[in-house]
Every structure is written in C-alpha cells, then in structure tokens.
Structure 1
Amino acid sequence: MMLSIENPNIMERIKNIEDRLDRLERRLSNIEKLLKKFPNTPGRPSPHRPPGEPPEPFKF
C-alpha cells in the first residue's frame, strides 16, 4: 500500500512538526538575544578549563 502526500494524517503530522520547529526557532532566537544582552555573565566553572584561565568567548 502506498501512502500519498494527500493523506490528511500525514499532512497533519507535517503541520505539527512545522509548528514545533517554529516554536523552537523562536526559543533559540530568544536565547541568542539573552546571550548578546548578558555576554559575560559568570556561571559555574567549567570542568574542562583549569581554574584561573579565562573562559573562551561563546561562538555561534
């Protein structure tokens, strides 16, 4: 049995995936804005960096 793209269930699933992708893109955009607004906010020390070394700048 072949499924065609006109199948309403498939179209609904595609729409749901597109909606979720849109929401994730908005969340990512908000996170990027916050990172630009607070670029040097101190956080927990990195376990991969020896104490006293400055952190590497965040890169996109």
Structure 2
Amino acid sequence: MTTAPSVVYQPLAWLSLHANWTQALGANNGRSADGRPFKLEWRSNSKGDLKWRFFKGA
C-alpha cells in the first residue's frame, strides 16, 4: 500500500515549487533467529524542489 500526495505552487510565471510525500507499507522477507516472521515496515519519504525557466517558451 502506498500513498503519494503532492503539491505544486507557481508564484511567478517562470518559477514553480514542487513538494511531495510518500508513505509505503512493506513486508519483510525472512524470519528472526527464533523463527518468528518479521513485522511489517512503514517507510516514508518527502521531497521538495524548485523549477524555473531560463528561456522563453521552454
């Protein structure tokens, strides 16, 4: 199961700000030393960046 919401904000015609956040539920393969299966694992990641145009029309 994975969720991945994202947001884009463009304050100027040539500049935009991007942000996203991802969360995933993953299964661990294998077993512990006493034979029990490992628990499920939640992972999350976030990212942000700026994008801008140097040339008209690009």
Q: TM-score, normalised by structure 1?
A: 0.20
Between Structure 1 and Structure 2, the one with more strand by share is: 2
Q: TM-score, normalised by structure 2?
A: 0.20
**Higher RCO structure (Cα 8 Å, ≥6 apart):** 2
Structure number with greater Rg is: 1
Between Structure 1 and Structure 2, the one with more helix by share is: 1
